[in-house]
Structure 1
Amino acid sequence: MPLPAGSGTGPLAGVRVAVKDVVAVAGQRTGAGVPRWLERALPAAASAPALQALLDAGAVVAGLARTDELAFSLLGVNAHHGTPPNPAAPGRVPGGSSSGCAAAVAGGAADLGLGTDTAGSLRVPGSWCGLHAWRPTHGAVDTTGVLPLAPSFDTVGLLARDAGLLAAAARVLLPGASAPARRPAALLRSRTLLGLAEPATARAVEAALAALAERTGLPVRDVGDDVTADEAGEWAAAFRTAQAAEAWAAHGAFVTAEPGALSPAVEARFRAGERTGAAQLAAARAVVERTRARLDAVLEDGWLCLPSTATPAPPVGAPPELLEAVRAGTLPLTTLASQTGVPAVGLPAGRAGGLPVGLCVLAPRGEDRSLLVLVAGG
């Protein structure tokens, strides 16, 4: 079946979209990065509403883009299909799980990537491939027709080389009429969260924050009641528990029915959800709610700025223990927006050790348009 056609006219006329292979594309089978999943899949009767909105606005599908297995990774490594290239950092992983989207956009094969972000799957590849990334307010963009991972945290968002295009495409996906953009009182810096990044990354992020402040005319202020490293570790652990439980609920039947269909590392993440008891899950949900209230209080004073990732992209072929350490180090940064449901925009922050890294800005829930106006010029 041919790829679905766009309207040909509209604000995104001619924009080429790389579609993550967890998003339904009319007439195509969704593979989700797993050959056995693709074998079982039927062609989609219709495109996911998010994709259809882009097509109605004039965009065209450049192709279906690779993803990490069932979107349960942050690295961009796929045991079945290999690792997509990172055009911004050759020889390094692109980040995932929206890995193919990032590779296509960074390499110029597409202008826009339509992907998902559960625990950072747009913001991490955005950071490592030198791209702009948008994770919307949870629930703001329709996820119908998109393969779930952990529905409490799943979102559909975008990657782009150009900040203006990112904002224009986001406006197409956001429901309702545009309200006047709101400016925060300040850009907030958490010394604790900066300290979770390795030093060169933290320096690049601080420089990018200073440049953003100069461009926007907003002051940079330290968070008054800063989070602690223990808090960050606690919310990351709670997120992983809740995410694994939801992921097992979504795909445990497939994992059980198709032994060996997933790589051992990815299957282990799903199996962690199988072992999560009700009391453990309830305790994790309680931490998520406390974290949400904590961030809401912080965002009353300004919009929070933090590293998109803890490090630059690791090398392709790095040992599994290094890849897991990079993933674990980045989750306390990415999962703050994920579990609290706030919008986040990742911006290229320059380079650390010659490799791209990103600055991420978090705004209150529902302030996507204001955030995009401020940081992406939309």
Structure 2
Amino acid sequence: MAAAASALGACGVSPLRRTAAVDGSVWRVHGEPLLAGAPGGPLAGLRIAVKDLFAVQGQVVGAGNAAWLAEQSRPEAASADAVQRLLDAGASVQGMARTDEFAYSLAGTNGHYGTPPNPRAPERISGGSTSGPASAVALGQADIGLGTDTGGSIRIPSSYQGLWGMRPSHGAVPVRGLVPLAPSFDTVGWICRDAATLRRTGEVLLPAAPGQPLRRVVVAPSLMAVADAPVAALLAQALRAWGGALPRPEEIAFDTAPLPGWVRAFQTRQGWEAWRAHGGWIARHWDSLNPDVKSRFQAAARYTDADLAAADRVLAEARAAITAALGDAVLLLPSASSFAPLRTEAALGGTVIEAARAKTFQLTCLAGISGRCAISMPVATGGEPPAGLCMVGPWGRDRDLLALAQAVQAQGVAHAAA
């Protein structure tokens, strides 16, 4: 934290004061507010925690790395498109919240600044890479966590902390003013405590589109079985409450045998793009990286054009298979394969977290590869840690998926966060 504070001072930004109300593992910069929203807009009164990858006027971007932050000397002249849209709609920026380094993790265990808390499961990790915004929302310190989802970085912390998280269709929300990870998969997403706020936020960020109910919902037992048994049992219980005016889920067959290969192809394309975005800087700052992120950039640096071409062939095949299986249906599946790993497990070198990441990626990659929109919804847990049920909708039907999510909460299948 001392290194982070000195870096902040070097950039001319007031260091964060640690208090009971403002946790430096959650917030890098915090204000009351940091930037006020326009008066009278549709989001007036709502507070935003902005992931520390977005440009915020008057601030520098830290990207989750203390050395990167120390080199940023010029505050941003304008806010990122997504931030500005929310400000124009009346929401206020409460602060810039923590992220895993360059968003290249799903755990939230940042060695520079610590792991943000998980209020619903204090002994467990927060999930990442939209870790700070998720924790800020779960703690009640923000109403909207503005973040990114490349491989699951909205859906996983939402699942781990019992929140609602939206990954929009790829390209639906502008990424101008965002530090990239892998532009082929990067999306601007958001996290809230309930479906209504999630939808209100989407009405500001998403392009206008004629509303049309999503009438077909499908579930693949093979994908549900990717989750650990306790998570799968909670989701099965939630699905038993699915009824009323909601479209009845149909069971479909989905071949999971190709999933490990799809994940490798996704990670190859992701790593290839991440190295091109940041490799020049990383090559001069290897020692500044946390071990898990460092290992991913080391792998990314070795990818060749031939590796990329082979991965792209697999990704094309995967997109065709996903389209053939789903068409215009909404797919229900686990948001994450497990409950959030324990903090003690995170301290053991990351083996458990890496195993959970590999398994969860088989679920989250479906939206990433296909570019489809997805929403993670918290289910009742009966004393178990939080878990999420994910809806993956057709590309471009984001607003319709948000409407369905609100209906799902009204039906009692998913719940507002406590």
Residue 283 of structure 1 pairs with residue 310 of structure 2: yes
Q: Displacement, 1:259?
A: 2.7
Instruction: Determine helix, strand or coil for the equivalent of 2:360.
Output: helix
Q: Please report the TM-score for the alignment, with normalisation by the length of structure 1.
A: 0.96
Structure 1 residues 36-90: Cα deviation after superposition (integer angstroms, max 9, x where no partner): 1111122111000101000100000111110011110001100110100001111
How far apart, CA to CA, are the structure 1 residues paired with 2:382 and 2:323?
A: 31
Which of 358, 364, 367 does residue 337 from structure 1 map onto? Answer: 367
**Counterpart for residue 124 of structure 1:** 156
How far apart, CA to CA, are the structure 2 residues paired with 1:360 and 1:289?
A: 23
Which of 39, 64, 83 does residue 70 from structure 2 map onto? Answer: 39
- Kept in 2, the 8 Å contact 1:216–1:374? The answer is no
**Counterpart for residue 4 of structure 1:** 35
Which of 252, 257, 267 does residue 294 from structure 2 map onto? Answer: 267
**Counterpart for residue 337 of structure 2:** 310
Q: Give the CA RMSD over aligned residues.
A: 1.5
- Kept in 2, the 8 Å contact 1:292–1:340? The answer is yes
- The range that moved more, 323-332 or 122-131, is 323-332
Residue 374 of structure 1 pairs with residue 401 of structure 2: no
Q: 1:277 to 1:353 in 2, by over 3 A?
A: farther
Instruction: Determine helix, strand or coil for the equivalent of 1:28.
Output: coil
Q: Give runs of aligned pairs for residues 27-66 of structure 1, distance below 5 A.
A: 27-41=58-72, 42-66=74-98
**Counterpart for residue 18 of structure 2:** none
**Counterpart for residue 388 of structure 2:** 358
Percent identity over the alignment? 46
Residue 207 of structure 1 pairs with residue 237 of structure 2: yes
- Kept in 2, the 8 Å contact 1:350–1:358? The answer is no
**Counterpart for residue 250 of structure 2:** 221
Instruction: Determine helix, strand or coil for the equivalent of 2:389.
Output: strand
How far apart, CA to CA, are the structure 2 residues paired with 1:14 and 1:172?
A: 15
How far apart, CA to CA, are the structure 2 residues paired with 1:146 and 1:317?
A: 33
Instruction: Determine helix, strand or coil for the equivalent of 2:189.
Output: strand
Q: Displacement, 1:292?
A: 1.1
Q: Please report the TM-score for the alignment, with normalisation by the length of structure 2.
A: 0.87
Amino acid at match of 1:136: P
Q: 1:216 to 1:78 in 2, by over 3 A?
A: farther
Q: Displacement, 1:316?
A: 1.0
How far apart, CA to CA, are the structure 2 residues paired with 1:317 and 1:327?
A: 16
How far apart, CA to CA, are the structure 2 residues paired with 1:317 and 1:66?
A: 21
- Kept in 2, the 8 Å contact 1:137–1:368? The answer is yes
**Counterpart for residue 25 of structure 1:** 56
4+ residue segments displaced more than 6 Å:
none
- Kept in 2, the 8 Å contact 1:201–1:351? The answer is no
- Kept in 1, the 8 Å contact 2:329–2:394? The answer is no
Q: 1:179 to 1:238 in 2, by over 3 A?
A: same
Gaps of 5+ in 2: 1-12, 14-30, 410-418
Instruction: Determine helix, strand or coil for the equivalent of 2:375.
Output: strand
How far apart, CA to CA, are the structure 1 residues paired with 2:401 and 2:211?
A: 12
Size of the alignment, in residue pairs? 373
Q: Displacement, 1:210?
A: 3.2
How far apart, CA to CA, are the structure 2 residues paired with 1:65 and 1:196?
A: 32
Amino acid at match of 2:260: G
How far apart, CA to CA, are the structure 1 residues paired with 2:308 and 2:286?
A: 26
- Kept in 2, the 8 Å contact 1:135–1:343? The answer is yes
**Counterpart for residue 255 of structure 1:** 282
Q: Displacement, 1:267?
A: 1.1
How far apart, CA to CA, are the structure 1 residues paired with 2:90 and 2:258?
A: 45
How far apart, CA to CA, are the structure 1 residues paired with 2:389 and 2:152?
A: 13
Instruction: Determine helix, strand or coil for the equivalent of 2:387.
Output: strand
Amino acid at match of 1:219: R
How far apart, CA to CA, are the structure 1 residues paired with 2:204 and 2:239?
A: 28
**Counterpart for residue 6 of structure 2:** none
Instruction: Determine helix, strand or coil for the equivalent of 2:191.
Output: strand
Q: Displacement, 1:301?
A: 6.0
Instruction: Determine helix, strand or coil for the equivalent of 2:293.
Output: helix
**Counterpart for residue 323 of structure 1:** 353
Instruction: Determine helix, strand or coil for the equivalent of 2:331.
Output: strand
Structure 1 residues 9-41: Cα deviation after superposition (integer angstroms, max 9, x where no partner): 111001001000001100001101101111112
Q: Displacement, 1:352?
A: 7.7
Gaps of 5+ in 1: none
